[in-house]
Amino acid sequence: MSSYEIPVAAIKPGTPVTAPRRSLSTRWISVLTLVALVAIWWAVTATGLIEPLFLPPPSAVLQKGWLLATSGYMDSTLWQHLGASLSRIGLGLGFAILTAVPVGIAIGANRIARGVLDPLIEFYRPIPPLAYLPLIVIWCGIGELSKVLLIYLAIFAPIAIATATGVRTVDPAKLRAAQSLGATRVQLIRHVILPSALPDILTGVRIGLGVGWSTLVAAELIAATSGLGFMVQSAAQFLVTDVVVLGILVIALIAFAMELGLRALQRKLVPWHGQAH
Amino acid sequence: MALLQLERISAQYPGNPEPVLADISLSLGPRQLLVALGPSGSGKTSLLNLIAGFVEASAGRITLDGVPVKGPSAERGVVFQDDALLPWQDVLANVGFGLELAGIARNKREARAREMLALVDLSGFEQRRIWQLSGGQKQRVGLARALAADPRVLLMDEPFGALDAFTREQMQELLLQVWQRTAKPVFLITHDIEEAVFLATDLILLAPNPGQIVERLSLDFGQRYAAGESARSIKSDPRFIETREHVLAKVFSQRSAAQRQERA
């Protein structure tokens, strides 16, 4: 116990023991790291150590960002590219949640469904989505359907597997309690199994979104006429490095924002998760 | 007239030829508080699970009002050792859960839930979350939830086993008050001898290998408490102590008999 190591006389009234003065919180350390990184970036470009063709200065990237947001690149503004990517992942995610959650519940709750579906999911899950992208393109063409289908498949497996895990680890006492209050099988799923599995489902969505986002951007590098991946790829062909760097930054920012959003959603939807109850 | 009837019940776990319970007969009627007391391995939890309908007997018959028991149902309410409450609902919704399952309108079930919370002395806790409650409070919510569904009998699976000694005493007294007021027949299992002697109108002592009833007692300490005598004065009554020691001696004589058998 660290509190034993602090002499009692040294603790002034009102000073929190866990956060002594002069020490930085982890969050501030992270912020300082980022600031330092940008400073180094600025330093190596401003002194001419690295040529702008390989790494443009932060100011140039920001300027380009403004230009892209207002007048656009490759027939579309930054917002249109962003919108194209987000709508693809949104569609893929929506369909994945609608189908993977029932499939996960079936796998977790029903022996036959587990026997049928589990090997199918376990077969395709470890394959990198880009490996079966060519097959999807052959089957569905190079239109929107292929991209959404690819995202959908990438997100589906993590959600289905996480849901099944959640269903299988439902507290048997809660099931018995509901049964002895007269719950039918459908009511058990609706009132006990689904809410019990919700923390796992949300974890599955988090993992799925991470996989889906990287798959999407990669798919847009290959077959697309809009989207962030397409924007980066076409800029690279003309050595427009500032657009490439900008695109990478936006892709990273979106991934970060999705992660933060889902964590907030998890806190709001499953406040009991991690509580001793 | 007996409400719940067990006739020559035997049970065993699948794949294990050794029976967990052998030839158990008992009955539970109105105004009875039947306590099954026994060491671990005596099959008391199995007995409760059989009555609740969570498991099936390998032989014998269980009837409630003359109708054979088949699977769990709202007629047999259960209070569990670890509360088994639903953390995604608040206290009021937990208590009204059985009524929600039965399709009863929200305002009606909330009124009933409030009534039950008052009965277990938890008024004012309606909007609390489950993880904000102490162990004793959770057990009260569990009791209120079981009672709200208005079961024919109340089954309690070591309900105070995980509580500290002080809270346990309070909960025993609360249970007697509730039992007195609702007149529900209660079947309770415990391994706490003093608890069993204090609460029971009818006590059965179970011994292991296989689980069987080795002693039946009719007691009145709980009724004395319900009639207004204080718990401390009952528990320090020489008759109470004598009964407790008698049961304790019986448990140990059974145990040493079993050990002799094993050595032979």
pLDDT one-digit tens code per residue, A122-146: 998 899 888 988 899 899 888 889 9
pLDDT by residue (tens digit) across A79-113? 999 999 999 999 999 999 999 999 999 999 889 99
pLDDT for A11 equals 46
Residue B62 to chain A, least CA–CA distance (Å): 16
Q: How far is CA B186 from CA B16, B21, B176, in A?
A: 31, 21, 10
Asked whether residue A277 is domain-assigned, the answer is no
pLDDT for B32 equals 94
pLDDT for B89 equals 93
Can you give the residue range of the structural domain that contains B197? Answer: 4-75+153-263
The H-assigned helical ranges of B120-264 are 135-148, 165-182, 193-199, 221-226, 231-235, 238-263
Place of tokens 């109708």: B67
pLDDT for A18 equals 53
Residue of A nearest to B93 (CA): A191
Side by side, which strands form the sheet with B59-64?
Answer: B21-28, B4-11, B59-64, B67-68
Contacts of A145 (CB under 8 A, 6+ apart): none
Of A182, A184, A272, the CB nearest to B98: A182
Helices (H) and strands (E) in chain B, counts: 10, 10
pLDDT for A174 equals 95
Say how many CB pairs under 8 Å bridge A and B: 74
Amino acid letter at B190?
A: T
pLDDT for A5 equals 44
SS3 call for B88: coil
pLDDT by residue (tens digit) across A216-230? 888 888 778 889 999
The answer to whether residues B121 and B38 belong to one domain is no
> Does A205 reach chain B within 8 Å, measured CB to CB?
no
DSSP string, B110-122: HHHHHHHHHHTT-
> What CATH number is given to the structural domain containing B31?
3.40.50.300
Can you give the residue range of the structural domain that contains A173? Answer: 66-269
> Does A47 reach chain B within 8 Å, measured CB to CB?
no
Residue B89 to chain A, least CA–CA distance (Å): 10
d(CA B105, CA B125): 21
pLDDT for A141 equals 85
Q: Is the distance from CB of A85 to CB of A227 less than 8 angstroms?
A: yes
Of B73, B76, B84, the CB nearest to A177: B84
- Strands B153-157, B186-190: pairing is parallel
pLDDT reading at A7 higher than 60 = no
pLDDT reading at A12 higher than 60 = no
d(CA B110, CA B89): 13
Amino acid letter at B10?
A: S
As beta bridge partners, residue B190 has: B37
> Does A277 reach chain B within 8 Å, measured CB to CB?
yes
pLDDT for A6 equals 44
Mean pLDDT for the stretch of residues A44-64:
89
> Does A176 reach chain B within 8 Å, measured CB to CB?
yes
The answer to whether residues B57 and B172 belong to one domain is yes
Q: What integer best gives the mean pLDDT of chain A?
A: 87
pLDDT reading at A152 higher than 60 = yes
Residue of B nearest to A272 (CA): B87
Contact assignment for B97 to A275 by CB distance below 8 Å: no
SS3 call for A152: helix
Instruction: Map A230-259 to HEC letters.
Output: HHHHHHHHCCCHHHHHHHHHHHHHHHHHHH
d(CA B140, CA B170): 11
Q: DSSP label at A229? A: H
d(CA A275, CA B131): 6
Chain B residue numbers touching A177 (CB-CB < 8 A): 78, 80, 84-85, 145
Count of domains for chain B: 2
Half-sphere exposure of B238 toward its Cβ, with a 13 Å CA cutoff?
A: 0
The answer to whether residues B45 and B110 belong to one domain is no
Mean pLDDT for the stretch of residues A146-167:
94
SS3 call for B163: coil
Count of domains for chain A: 1
- B92 or A23, greater pLDDT: B92
Asked whether residue A28 is domain-assigned, the answer is no
The answer to whether residues B180 and B253 belong to one domain is yes
> What CATH number is given to the structural domain containing A132?
1.10.3720.10
Q: Is the distance from CB of B21 to CB of B43 less than 8 angstroms?
A: yes
Residue A138 to chain B, least CA–CA distance (Å): 46
The DSSP H or E segment spanning A97 is helix A78-109
Contact assignment for B84 to A270 by CB distance below 8 Å: no
Chain B residue numbers touching A176 (CB-CB < 8 A): 52, 54, 72, 78, 80, 84
The answer to whether residues B128 and B184 belong to one domain is no
Q: What integer best gives the mean pLDDT of chain B?
A: 91
pLDDT for B33 equals 95
The answer to whether residues B146 and B158 belong to one domain is no
d(CA B184, CA B70): 21
pLDDT above 70 covers a percentage of chain A that reads: 91
Q: Which pLDDT band, with edges at 50, 70 and 90, does A76 fall under?
A: confident
pLDDT for B41 equals 82
Place of tokens 């695109």: A247
Residue A49 to chain B, least CA–CA distance (Å): 58
pLDDT by residue (tens digit) across A190-239? 999 999 999 999 999 999 999 999 898 888 887 788 899 999 988 988 98
Contact assignment for B131 to A275 by CB distance below 8 Å: yes
Contact assignment for A176 to B80 by CB distance below 8 Å: yes
Can the peptide bond before residue B210 be classed as cis, meaning omega within 30 degrees of 0?
yes
Of B54, B102, B131, the CB nearest to A182: B102
Place of tokens 């009818």: B202
Q: ipTM of the predicted structure? A: 0.90
The answer to whether residues B134 and B169 belong to one domain is no
d(CA B201, CA B193): 14
Point out the residues of chain B with pLDDT beneath 70: 1, 264
> Does A198 reach chain B within 8 Å, measured CB to CB?
yes
